[in-house]
Structure 1
Amino acid sequence: MNYKLLGRSGLKVSELCLGTMGFGTEGGWGADAATSFAIMDAYANAGGNFLDTANVYKLGTSEKIIGDYISNHDRDYFVLATKYTLKDNVTNPNASGNNRKNMMRSVEESLKRLKTDFIDVLYLHIWDNITPIDEVLRAMDDLIKQGKITYAAISDTPAWVVAKGNTLAELMGWSQFIALQVEYSLLARTAERELIPMAKHFGMTVTPWAPLAGGALTGKYLKGDKGRIKPESNRLNARAEKITKVVMEVAAELGVSESHVALNWTRQQYFSCIPIVGATKVNQLLDNLKTVDVVLNADQMKRLSDASAIELGFPGDFFNEEAVKNNSFGGFYDRVEKR
């Protein structure tokens, strides 16, 4: 794999991120320790160095497995990202949320499970709509100064909150968020309304979770494998079926798997994007790694984008109106689009 810079930083990460939410067998599914080790071996052998986990994944087992693995490998080779926010114990009222107390406690517990002295990237996992964003950024900046984390990032949070946070951080001289993790795929494009334009403005890398929409975009559900997906899921409706059929058509044209098409649609966007690819079997990972050797042409990208297009709403659709583009601002929009 090639390497990309993560946001407005000098941190070099591989062009596919390995998602480890399935490391552990709690809940009756997932990969055991031996299989997880084999997956990380295959990923590292392909040049992958960017691992994504969270304090709550598999009740902490994901972090423990990663900790056991990297303690016997070159720790500095890996860029280790984890998250805090969601409830991970029942000992106190502050065992969840974005507050400073929970952040400090969660980081200490993650460091123990990961068997490391520092976390490369710490994500706020999900916005709690309670904690002031300046409290979050000041606490993360303190952890950076202490050497316990290296970079700050954020996930599943409204665009206005992230924008306010990065603006405050720039004003106060704190470390800014360098990455934004959100759901994004051909079946889930609503992040294009506010979140992705905001991330592009601040130079943040988008790290999409569920870029294959839980496997729906591989076509397996159209072939009869419903797996653990709920029948009412928006990954099984008529719109999803239409989009997935286009993915399958493009895959057939290129002679590649459907996952390669769906992943490359995210990778070839106009903003910095590193999809998170999960795996509970080695063969799943090995297939997804082939994505980096595939390129979609302009026509294929357009067909996929047209099939999955959403209404941006106001003001996004207003900005895209032909009358505005062609008749206002002296052709300003046309000139911007050509730059």
Structure 2
Amino acid sequence: MNYKLLGRSGLKVSELCLGTMGFGTEGGWGADAATSFEIMDAYTKEGGNFLDTANVYKLGTSEKLIGEYMSNHDRDYFVLATKYSLKDNTTNPNASGNNRKNMMRSVEESLKRLKTDFIDVLYLHIWDDITPIDEVMRGLDDLIRQGKVNYAAISDTPAWVVAKGNTLAELMGWSQFIALQVEYSLLSRTPERDLIPMAKHFGMTVTPWAPLAGGALTGKYLKGDKGRIKPESNRLNERAEKITRVVMEVAKELGVSESHVALQWTMSRGFSCIPIVGATKVDQLKDNLKTVDVQLTAEHIAKLDEASKFELGFPGDFFKEDGVKMNSFGGFYDRVEKR
């Protein structure tokens, strides 16, 4: 794989990130220790160095397995990303949330499970709508100054919160978010309304989770494999089926798998994007890694865009209406005929 810079930093990461949410067998599914090690071996062999986990994945087992693997490999080769926010124990009222107390406790626990002295990228996992963003930014910057974290990132948070955080950090001389993790795929393009434009503005890399929509875009649900998906899921509706069939058509034309098409689409959007590829089987990962050798034509991308189009809503669609033109100041819009 090739390497890309992660956001506005000098950190070099592989163009596909390995998602490890399935490392562990808690809940009746996932990869056992031996398989998890094989998956990391296969990923590393192909040049992969970017691993994504979280303190709550498989009740901490994911971090523990990565820690065991790291203890027998070159820790500095890997860029290890983990997350804090979600409740990982029931010992106290602050065992969840974005607050500083939970942040510091979670990081210390993650460091122990990961058997490392530092975390390369620490994500705020999900916005709690309680903690002031200045508390978050100051806490992350303190961790970075202490050498326990190298870079800050954020996941599943409104665009205005992220923008406020990065602006505040810039003014205060604190570390800014360099990556944004959100659900993004051909079935879930709504981040294009605000989140992705915001990320582009701040030079953040987008790291999509579920870029294959839980496997829906591989066509497996159309072939009868419903797995653990709920019948009411939006990955099983008429729109999802329509988009998936177009993915299957493009894959057939190119002679590649459907996952290659869906993943490469996210990597061809005109902004810094590194999809997170989860795997619980070695063969599954090896197939997905072949995505880097696939190229979509402009016609293929246009076909996929058309099949997956959605409403931007206001003000996105408003800006695209007839009669809206750039005035001489540039960057401002005037209604020239429809007022």
What's the TM-score bracket when you normalise by the shorter of the two chains? over 0.9
**Aligned: 1:32 with 2:47:** no
Indicate the residue corresponding to 2:52 in structure 1: 52
Question: Equivalents in 1 of 2:221, 2:329: separation in Å?
Answer: 46
Deviation digits for residues 229-270 of structure 1 (CA, Å, limit 9, x no counterpart)? 111100000000000000000000000000000000000011
Indicate the residue corresponding to 1:284 in structure 2: 284
Aligned to 1:322, the other structure's residue is in SS state coil
Indicate the residue corresponding to 2:317 in structure 1: 317
Question: Equivalents in 2 of 1:331, 1:208: separation in Å?
Answer: 35
Structure with the largest fraction of helix? 1
Question: Equivalents in 2 of 1:323, 1:34: separation in Å?
Answer: 61
Indicate the residue corresponding to 1:240 in structure 2: 240
Indicate the residue corresponding to 1:68 in structure 2: 68
**Aligned: 1:81 with 2:98:** no
| Matched AA of 2:31 | A
Aligned to 2:116, the other structure's residue is in SS state coil
When the two structures are superposed, what TM-score results if normalisation uses the length of structure 2?
Answer: 0.96
Question: Equivalents in 2 of 1:98, 1:133: separation in Å?
Answer: 9
| Matched AA of 1:127 | W
Aligned to 1:269, the other structure's residue is in SS state coil
Deviation of residue 320 (structure 1)? 1.6
Deviation digits for residues 42-85 of structure 1 (CA, Å, limit 9, x no counterpart)? 00000000000000000000000000001100000000000000
Question: Equivalents in 2 of 1:58, 1:321: separation in Å?
Answer: 47
Deviation of residue 322 (structure 1)? 3.3
| Matched AA of 2:35 | T
Deviation digits for residues 198-250 of structure 1 (CA, Å, limit 9, x no counterpart)? 00000000000000000000001001111111111000000000000000000
Indicate the residue corresponding to 1:267 in structure 2: 267
Question: Equivalents in 1 of 2:285, 2:6: separation in Å?
Answer: 22
Question: Equivalents in 1 of 2:272, 2:319: separation in Å?
Answer: 22
Question: Equivalents in 2 of 1:217, 1:181: separation in Å?
Answer: 20
Indicate the residue corresponding to 1:336 in structure 2: none
Aligned to 2:123, the other structure's residue is in SS state strand
Q: Which runs of no fewer than 5 residues in structure 1 stay unpaired?
A: 334-339
How many residue pairs align between the two structures? 331
CA RMSD of aligned residues (A): 1.0
Indicate the residue corresponding to 1:22 in structure 2: 22
The structure 1 residue matched to 2:327, chosen from 322, 326, 329, is 329
Aligned to 2:323, the other structure's residue is in SS state helix
Aligned to 2:130, the other structure's residue is in SS state coil
Indicate the residue corresponding to 1:131 in structure 2: 131
Indicate the residue corresponding to 1:173 in structure 2: 173
Runs of 4+ residues deviating >4 angstroms? 330-333
Question: Equivalents in 1 of 2:322, 2:136: separation in Å?
Answer: 42
Deviation digits for residues 259-311 of structure 1 (CA, Å, limit 9, x no counterpart)? 00000000001110000000000000000000000010101001101110110
Aligned to 2:324, the other structure's residue is in SS state helix
Structure 2 counterparts to residues 90-239 of structure 1, below 5 A: 90-239=90-239
| Matched AA of 1:95 | A
Question: Equivalents in 1 of 2:320, 2:299: separation in Å?
Answer: 21
Deviation of residue 323 (structure 1)? 2.5
Question: Equivalents in 1 of 2:327, 2:306: separation in Å?
Answer: 27
Question: Equivalents in 2 of 1:14, 1:62: separation in Å?
Answer: 20
Deviation digits for residues 126-171 of structure 1 (CA, Å, limit 9, x no counterpart)? 0000000010010000000000000000000000000000000000
Aligned to 1:265, the other structure's residue is in SS state helix
Indicate the residue corresponding to 1:337 in structure 2: none
Deviation of residue 329 (structure 1)? 2.4
Q: Which runs of no fewer than 5 residues in structure 2 stay unpaired?
A: 332-339
Indicate the residue corresponding to 2:252 in structure 1: 252
Question: Equivalents in 1 of 2:47, 2:249: separation in Å?
Answer: 30
Aligned to 1:38, the other structure's residue is in SS state helix
When the two structures are superposed, what TM-score results if normalisation uses the length of structure 1?
Answer: 0.96
Identity %: 85
Question: Equivalents in 2 of 1:311, 1:211: separation in Å?
Answer: 20
